[in-house]
Each structure stands twice: as C-alpha cells, then as structure tokens.
Chain A
Amino acid sequence: MHETSASHAAHQHAAPTSFIRKHVFSLDHKVIGKQYYGLALLAVFIGMGLSWLMRLHLGWPAWPIPLLDKLSAVGAPSGVMTPEYYLSLMTMHGTIMVFFVLTNAPFAAFGNYFLPIQIGAEDMAFPRFNMMSFWTTFMAFLVMMAAFFVTDGPPISGWTAYAPLSAVGGDAGPGLKVGQTLWAISIAIFCIGSLLGALNFIATTLDLRTKGMSLARMPYCSWAWFVTSVIALLAFAVLLPACILLILDRTAGTSFFIPAGLVLSDKLQPHSGGSPLLWQHLFWFFGHPEVYIAILPSIGIVCHILPVFARKPLLGPRATVGCMIAIGFLSYMVWGHHMFVSGMNPFSATLFSVPTLFITVPATILTLLLLGSVYGAKMRFTSASLFCLGFISVFISGGISGFFLAQPSIDIYLHATYFVVAHFHFVMAVASLFGVFAGTYFWFPKMTGRMMNEALGKLHFWLTFVGVYAIFMPMHYLGLAGNVRRYSAFVDDYLIPLIPVHKFITIAALLTGAAQFIFLFNLIWSRFKGPIASENPWEATSLEWSTTTPPPFDNFGGKHMVVYNGPNEYGVQSSDGKDFIMQTSPEKAPAS
C-alpha cells in the first residue's frame, strides 16, 4: 500500500544544528511564526509610541515633548511638533499598525506556527518560500523605518496615500520626496512577502491535512487563516500594481494619477491626464479586504479558544465557517463605501452601500453564535478567556458604528470625522488585538513550555478593557459633533470646545498604553521564569495539544497523526471521566 507521502514530501530538510539555521534563517514554520510575532511586537510598540506622540500633541499642542527634538530636530524644534511632523507620525502610525501589526500578528504569526500543527502536517507546504516571506516582510519593515531618518522625514499623506498628494513629489509638502517613495517601495515589498505567505497557507491547507482531517474537522482558526489567505492573495495582488504605478508617477514622469494643470509651490506640474480616483479605487479594492484580513483571524482565534474555557462546544460551527467565507466573499464588493463623497458616480453609492450593509448579516450571526456559546457555559476565567469575552463586547461596539457609515446619506455628515476613527479603531485596533492577546495567553504554554502569569494577565485585561472604551467611545461623540480627523491641531471655532474631550482621550491613551508594558513584562518574564507547562494545560481538543510542549522539530515526533473527531467535542462525557474528547482520540462522542 502506498503511504500518503505527506510526511516524506514535507520534510526535505533535516533538523538544523547551527544557531543561524535554527533561529535566524530557519525553514521551520514554528520559528518563522515566532519571528513574525516578534516583528509584530516590535512594530506595535513603535506604533503605540507614535500614537502617544500624536495624542500628546492633540491634547497639549504647545507643550514641548521631551527628547522629541532628538528624534527629529526639523520635525520638532525644541520638542514642539510641527504640523507636518504630526502628519508624518500619523502616517507611519497607521501604516505600521495596519501592515506590520494587524496583518502579521493574528495571521502570519499564529497562522504560521499553528496551521500545520492543527491539520497534522510536519511543516508548511513550501518551507523555503515561508522563510523568504518572513525575511521579505522584515526587509519591508526596514525600508519603512528608513523613512524616519531621511532629511525630509516620513510621508504626510496618511496610510491611504491619496494621489495627487502622494504622487507629485516634494512640491506638495515635506516628507513627500524620498519619504513617500520609500513608503511605496516598502509596501510593494510587503505585498510580495504577503503573497508568498498566503500561497503557503492555501497550499498547506488544501494538500497537507493528515489522515482523517477533513475540511469539516479543521479547527475554526485554521478555517479563518485559510479564508484570510485567499482574501490576502487577491488583495495584495492589487495593491502591488497600485504601488508600482505610484512609484512610476513619482519617479518616471508618468501620469497615471496626476491630472493636468496642477499648481503646487507656485509651479505648474508637468503631468497630465491622470485620475486621482483611480488610486482610490485601486487602493480601496485592496484596502477593504485588508481590514477583513485584519479581523478574520482574530474571529477564528476567539472561536477556537472560547469553547475551551466555556467547556461547551461552539454554537453553530458550520454557520461560523459559512459566515467567514461569506465575509471574505462580500469584502470584495464594498470598497466604494470609502469613497461615497469622493466624487465618484453617486449612483454607485447605493451599489456599494447594499453589500456593505449586507456584511452586517454574517457579522451579526457570528456575534450571536458567540453569545450563544457563552450561554449556559461553565466558564473558566483566565486571561485568554477574558480577552475572548472582551472581544465579543468590542466587536459589537465596533460593528455597530459601521452601520452608520455604511449608509451614504449619513456618511455625508460623518465621513472623515472622528466617528470613522472610532469605528476602525474598535474593530481593528481593539477587537483584532484582543484576539491576538487571547491567542498569546492561550498558546504561550505550547510555544514556550511555560505558563504566563495569570494575575498579571488579568490585570492587563482589566486595564486594557476599560482603557480602550475610555479612549475610543468618546471619539464617537466627537464625530457626531463634526470633529474632523487628521487635524494636527484644533483651531476652528466649533472645535475648540471639544478640546477637553481630546485631553481626556489622551490621558486614557497614555494609561492604557502603559498597561501594555505589563503584558510585555509578562511575556519576557514568563519566557524564562514561568512555571513549566504540561502538554495540555487548558484541556483542549485540537492537534496542537496532542503533541509535546513545545512541539518537536517535525511537530509530532515522527508519528503520523490520525484524526477521528472534530474540534468541538467539549461538554461531552468521555470514557476517562473528562468533559472533552480530543481530535486524535479514537473515541467517538456519544450522539446527543
């Protein structure tokens, strides 16, 4: 009988011995996953620091920020931020967070580490491409960081880099010469890294599932990673062309995005015929799926973790997977809702609004199923499960504000106000990050062999949960009052009375940010001093808990795992007196 040669096919490489091969240029998906996590961790603290600088300036614009003039003498003479420096910090904040944190952490980091293990494979389908995808992403990060250090500073056009501001070059303002070009190059490189990663995820999920691991038995986070990688494949395949066209406009004198007759810095620009709306269409065709790339893995992680601590199965697993797929599909039909007031054909507003509102349906179903999974549970309250429960709360909050923005008539008023800022921070910065926190607390034992400190974890949760509401809920009120976003200062008559709210938000942001150092400390301390973890400390069913802690080089120590059950067998009477049945256990759950 021919053995299915997944094991032979996957391991063309033997276990590495040198330090470089083990920890730096490693083909092992677990190392690569940790590398992505480390990159995301570095990026999130940089991004958070940038947000502190932004919030300090917004609350107290005249107050000199210590040491800021060391970072940029031009941008912050004597520590007081110039308006352009504020915009460049804002641009880098958004770019770093969306790309290097939210695309990396829930998707590339945890996905790379756990997807192969959860489906019973020894590694990803293409380990060399996997290594290349991480180092490509890292290179993109270095190029992005370089933008901080060029004379003119980082770009000031926002993470959305609308043309012609981003396309005409230095005449449009500071940071728009070398800084903007570096930004575009960095993002283009990032696209390639993401495409390689997505390719690996898809091929691995389709081809390397072990015996008995049908698609129906895949854990929900594996499903989320799979759907996300399909979205990512098609989305980044559009962003890369957009960046190429932008780079050509900036460096080769083409006019894809720049129309005729523009006068900047008293100079008539030499371009003609281009369309600024073309950039918006290309960018948002990528940009909207991108935000689902940011949230879907976290939804999957929460669906994976919550049942473990609820000790009962996830409600409606097939509907859950169906909703993920529906969201992935619909995400490609809604990009125009970023462009309601852009000057595009007003008829198309309705065309985009309907699917945008319609995406509410699978999102609502997911929320209701999660609530139904909490109902009647015997909840074990740990840091991981608290972040899962917190996720439900913030996902509701973030989703509901989207309901307003999805309607063109309301968007006329709320577009480009702090209402939008509130919405996307709740779903991306908060909900998605809560999924990452839950995943960290949950999987840390498996990845390192040690437990994180629960007391510190719970403290981290409480400070963060209350803190994010204190930061982002008031932004809704600001938006309703018409507070415009991307302003480096509030000088208009109607905005001045709102400054006290901004001060409150700034203080909340600083305190909540400080609480994240508890998490960082916990991570580092526990890595070296945490109590040793058992093989399955949370009593979970999926395959990562059927191997040693941490897993060996080939994930299962040479064993070919056979799967008999789905991942949802919680709250069942098992023959050995437990309330769960593992996926690899030959025991079938009694029919309910």
Chain B
Amino acid sequence: MGKLFAVAVIAITLISVSFFVMHTWWMPIDISTTGPAIDHQLEETMTGSGLLFLAGQLVLGLFVWQASDKNPARKIKLFPGGASPLVAAAIILVGIEILTLTFVGTKAWGAVNLAPAAADSLHIDVQAEQFAFYFRYAGPDGQFGGLHPDKIDDGSGNYFGLDPANDVAARDDVVVGSLVIPVNRPILLSLHSKDVGHSFYVPELRIQQDFVPGIEIPVHFTATQTGKFEIVCTQLCGLGHYNMKAYLQVMSEPDYEQWLKSQEGQ
C-alpha cells in the first residue's frame, strides 16, 4: 500500500509537471510594454515553485516508500537534527524567496499600477454595463462631454448619457463598441461602470482592472503589436457575464487615423 502510494504520488507529480513544462496550455503572446516583466515574474515563480512542488512530492513518495518496509525488526528513525533544521531551512529559504519576489515583483506591479500615464497618452473613456463595453473618444475638439446617467438611452445609442443638445464638448464624441487603438502609442483608459462591478481583462496585454461603480479608474498601457484581441469581463456582473466582451483592435498609426476619421465623420 505504501509503495503504491509512493508510485501514485510520483506519477501524478511527473504528469502534472510535464504539462506545465511543455506549455501545453499557456499564456498567449504578450503584446504590451509592461508584459515582459510580468511574464518574467511568472516564469521565475513557476521555476521556483515547480522545483518545490517536485521536491515536496518526491520526498513524500520516498519517505512513504521507506516507511512501508514491513521488516518487524526495523526501528523507527527520528528525523536527523529534529525539528530545528527544518524550521530554520523553511524560514531562511522561503524568506529569501519572498524577499526576492517582492522586490522584483514590485517593479512589475508599479509599472502597471503606480507609474503615471505618459503625458501624451491617447485618452479613451470606457464604460462597462450589463452586458457590454463601450468606448468613447474625445473627437476633434479633444474634450470629453459630461455624463448624465438620467440621459442614458441604449435604444438610441446614447450609452454614455451624453447631452449634445446642451453640451458642446459632447457633440463630437465618438462612441463605439470596439476598442481601436494605434500600435506603439501610450493609451490611457478611464474605466467607469454604469451599473454593477465589471472588470477589464485582455490576457495578451497582461492587464486586468475592475470597474467599481462610483469611481473612475485609470488604466494605461502601450500595445506593441497589431492584431485583434478579446476584452472579456472578469467580475461577476449578472446572467450575461459569460458573454460580455469586446474586441481590441490594434492598428498601425495610419490605419488608426483613417478609422478615426471615418468615425468622426458620422
């Protein structure tokens, strides 16, 4: 029974680890400037914890195998050195790993969430609602119109509750259902929610940020590759949560300008 346990633990461990190592299911490509630091952090953690995982399970298997020896003359053995070396090892090794990861990880975190957005960022207003994302561009005047929740009318496409009749700045605001951005340009998103909590997640950008009703939350990034990617909601928001998504389209600068002109013309 003990040998069977040891074999089972080791087999399960090796099979599990192999899928991690082979990257059979893995993160998608990284298309952001802050992504590599996060990926690096993840890979360091994966290596370190992978080794700990392997070691822990293999040691368990080995000890159980040895403990299953049925020789009646065998005496029990106490762990050499007792508890103290294990306690010390745990504190020192885990302590070092914690400090390293914290120190390095803070930089990766800071780049995303603490560093201010670049001064010349393209500013886009994002609204999340049950169950869609909408994106607003300031238009040629470079100014966003004010938002009035009482004026929201999805039927006529006034998702943001703009008041173009009275608000000059709102007249040229561009509202679309996809997030279209130029490549290699700093982007600043302002996230706000119309109703409940939502979240903005683009795996390729390595960005995730909740929308909190009542607060406007900034998110900034720079995309490094063109392409079409999915933005999905990751904060449970109701029955349509699974279906709540939008596309992120990263275009070349000229293509983006062309797109924007065509939107502003409408």
Report A-B touching, CB under 8 Å. yes
A residues adjacent to B (C-beta < 8 A): 82-84, 87, 156-158, 162-165, 168, 172-174, 258-264, 266, 268, 274-277, 310-313, 315-316, 318-319, 341-343, 346-347, 349-350, 353-354, 357-358, 360-361, 364-365, 367-369, 371-379, 381, 386, 389-390, 392-393, 396-397, 400, 403-404, 407-410, 412-413, 415-417, 458, 462, 465-466, 469, 473-474, 476-478, 480-482, 484-494, 498, 501, 571
Q: Contact partner of A415 among B66, B90, B234, CB < 8 A?
A: B234
**Could you tell me the distance between the alpha carbons of A185 and B153 in the complex, rounded to whole angstroms?**
36
B residues 9-30 near A (Cβ < 8 Å) are 9, 12, 16, 19-20, 24-28
Check B230–A494 contact: CB distance below 8 A: yes
B residues 64-112 near A (Cβ < 8 Å) are 64, 66-68, 74-79, 82-84, 86-87, 89-91, 94-95, 98, 101-102, 105-106, 108-110, 112
B33 at the interface (CB under 8 A from A): no
Check B59–A371 contact: CB distance below 8 A: yes
Check A376–B77 contact: CB distance below 8 A: yes
Which residues of A have CB within 8 Å of B57? 393, 396-397
**Could you tell me the distance between the alpha carbons of A172 and B243 in the complex, rounded to whole angstroms?**
16
Check A84–B217 contact: CB distance below 8 A: no
Which residues of B have CB within 8 Å of A310? 67, 76
Q: Contact partner of A162 among B64, B105, B197, B203, CB < 8 A?
A: B197
Check A263–B60 contact: CB distance below 8 A: no
Check B94–A469 contact: CB distance below 8 A: no
Q: Shortest beta-carbon distance, A478 to chain B, in Å?
A: 7
**Given A87-B238, A276-B214, A389-B60, 8 more contacts at CB 8 Å?**
A262-B213, A266-B154, A316-B86, A364-B94, A381-B2, A409-B109, A486-B241, A491-B243
B8 at the interface (CB under 8 A from A): yes
B260 at the interface (CB under 8 A from A): no
Check B238–A156 contact: CB distance below 8 A: yes
Q: Contact partner of B38 among A173, A315, A409, A487, CB < 8 A?
A: A409
Q: Shortest beta-carbon distance, A425 to chain B, in Å?
A: 15
Q: Shortest beta-carbon distance, A32 to chain B, in Å?
A: 35
Which residues of A have CB within 8 Å of B19? 474, 477
Q: Which residue of A lies closest to B39 (CB)?
A: A413
How many pairs of A and B residues are in contact by the CB < 8 Å rule?
309
B residues adjacent to A (C-beta < 8 A): 1-2, 5, 8-9, 12, 16, 19-20, 24-28, 37-38, 41-42, 45-46, 48-49, 52-53, 56-57, 59-60, 63-64, 66-68, 74-79, 82-84, 86-87, 89-91, 94-95, 98, 101-102, 105-106, 108-110, 112-114, 129-130, 149-150, 152, 154, 161, 194-197, 199, 201, 203, 206-215, 217, 230, 232-243, 245
Which residues of A have CB within 8 Å of B196? 162, 164-165, 168, 172, 262, 264
Check B27–A377 contact: CB distance below 8 A: no
Which residues of A have CB within 8 Å of B59? 371
Which residues of A have CB within 8 Å of B9? 393
Which residues of A have CB within 8 Å of B230? 492-494
Check A404–B45 contact: CB distance below 8 A: yes
Check A408–B52 contact: CB distance below 8 A: no
**Could you tell me the distance between the alpha carbons of A354 and B77 in the complex, rounded to whole angstroms?**
37
Check B212–A264 contact: CB distance below 8 A: no
| Most A C-beta atoms less than 10 A away, residue of B76, B77, B84, B201 | B76
Closest 4 CB pairs of A and B: A259-B214, A316-B83, A376-B77, A482-B203
Which residues of B have CB within 8 Å of A354? 98, 102
Check B213–A276 contact: CB distance below 8 A: yes
**Could you tell me the distance between the alpha carbons of A64 and B232 in the complex, rounded to whole angstroms?**
27
Q: Contacts A162-B235, A268-B150, A400-B53 hold; do A316 and B242 have CB atoms under 8 A apart?
A: no
Q: Contact partner of B195 among A263, A346, A369, A375, CB < 8 A?
A: A263
Q: Shortest beta-carbon distance, A13 to chain B, in Å?
A: 43
Q: Shortest beta-carbon distance, B87 to chain A, in Å?
A: 5
Which residues of B have CB within 8 Å of A498? 25
Q: Contacts A342-B210, A403-B49 hold; do A156 and B239 have CB atoms under 8 A apart?
A: yes
**Could you tell me the distance between the alpha carbons of A93 and B203 in the complex, rounded to whole angstroms?**
28
Which residues of A have CB within 8 Å of B87? 316, 319, 365, 368-369
Check A368–B86 contact: CB distance below 8 A: yes
Which residues of B have CB within 8 Å of A157? 236
Check A365–B27 contact: CB distance below 8 A: no
Q: List 29 A-B contacts (CB under 8 A).
A: A162-B196, A274-B214, A275-B214, A319-B83, A343-B212, A346-B113, A350-B102, A357-B101, A361-B91, A365-B86, A365-B90, A368-B87, A371-B59, A372-B79, A375-B77, A376-B76, A376-B78, A378-B74, A390-B5, A396-B57, A404-B49, A409-B105, A410-B38, A412-B38, A412-B112, A413-B42, A484-B201, A484-B234, A487-B242
Check B239–A369 contact: CB distance below 8 A: no
**Could you tell me the distance between the alpha carbons of A157 and B130 in the complex, rounded to whole angstroms?**
14
**Could you tell me the distance between the alpha carbons of A474 and B16 in the complex, rounded to whole angstroms?**
8
Q: Shortest beta-carbon distance, A421 to chain B, in Å?
A: 12
Which residues of B have CB within 8 Å of A165? 196-197, 236-238
Check B1–A381 contact: CB distance below 8 A: yes
Which residues of B have CB within 8 Å of A397? 53, 57
Q: Which residue of B lies closest to A461 (CB)?
A: B5
Q: Shortest beta-carbon distance, B101 to chain A, in Å?
A: 6
Q: Contacts A379-B64, A415-B234 hold; do A350 and B210 have CB atoms under 8 A apart?
A: no
Q: Shortest beta-carbon distance, A414 to chain B, in Å?
A: 8
Q: Contact partner of A482 among B12, B27, B75, B95, CB < 8 A?
A: B27
Check B206–A412 contact: CB distance below 8 A: yes
Check B42–A404 contact: CB distance below 8 A: yes
Which residues of B have CB within 8 Å of A312? 76-78
Check B236–A158 contact: CB distance below 8 A: yes
Q: Which residue of A lies closest to B206 (CB)?
A: A413
Q: Contact partner of B28 among A379, A473, A486, A494, CB < 8 A?
A: A494
Check B49–A400 contact: CB distance below 8 A: yes
Check B60–A477 contact: CB distance below 8 A: no
Which residues of B have CB within 8 Å of A83? 239-243
Which residues of B have CB within 8 Å of A403? 45, 48-49
Which residues of B have CB within 8 Å of A346? 109-110, 113-114
Check A315–B98 contact: CB distance below 8 A: no
Check A396–B109 contact: CB distance below 8 A: no
**Could you tell me the distance between the alpha carbons of A416 and B211 in the complex, rounded to whole angstroms?**
14
Q: Contacts A173-B239, A409-B41, A409-B105 hold; do A494 and B83 have CB atoms under 8 A apart?
A: no
Check A412–B109 contact: CB distance below 8 A: yes
**Could you tell me the distance between the alpha carbons of A184 and B240 in the complex, rounded to whole angstroms?**
23
**Could you tell me the distance between the alpha carbons of A261 and B215 in the complex, rounded to whole angstroms?**
11
Which residues of A have CB within 8 Å of B83? 315-316, 318-319, 369, 372
**Could you tell me the distance between the alpha carbons of A191 and B248 in the complex, rounded to whole angstroms?**
45
Q: Contact partner of B56 among A367, A478, A482, A488, CB < 8 A?
A: A367
**Could you tell me the distance between the alpha carbons of A489 and B152 in the complex, rounded to whole angstroms?**
29
Q: Contact partner of A396 among B60, B67, B245, CB < 8 A?
A: B60
Q: Which residue of B lies closest to A175 (CB)?
A: B239
Which residues of B have CB within 8 Å of A174? 239
Q: Contact partner of A375 among B79, B110, B150, B203, CB < 8 A?
A: B79
Q: Shortest beta-carbon distance, A403 to chain B, in Å?
A: 5
Q: Shortest beta-carbon distance, A278 to chain B, in Å?
A: 11
Q: Shortest beta-carbon distance, B146 to chain A, in Å?
A: 12
Q: Contact partner of B152 among A263, A350, A404, CB < 8 A?
A: A263
Which residues of B have CB within 8 Å of A416? 199, 201, 208, 234-235
**Could you tell me the distance between the alpha carbons of A553 and B235 in the complex, rounded to whole angstroms?**
52
Q: Contact partner of A84 among B1, B42, B105, B239, CB < 8 A?
A: B239
Check A378–B149 contact: CB distance below 8 A: no
Which residues of A have CB within 8 Å of B210? 341-343
Which residues of B have CB within 8 Å of A311? 76
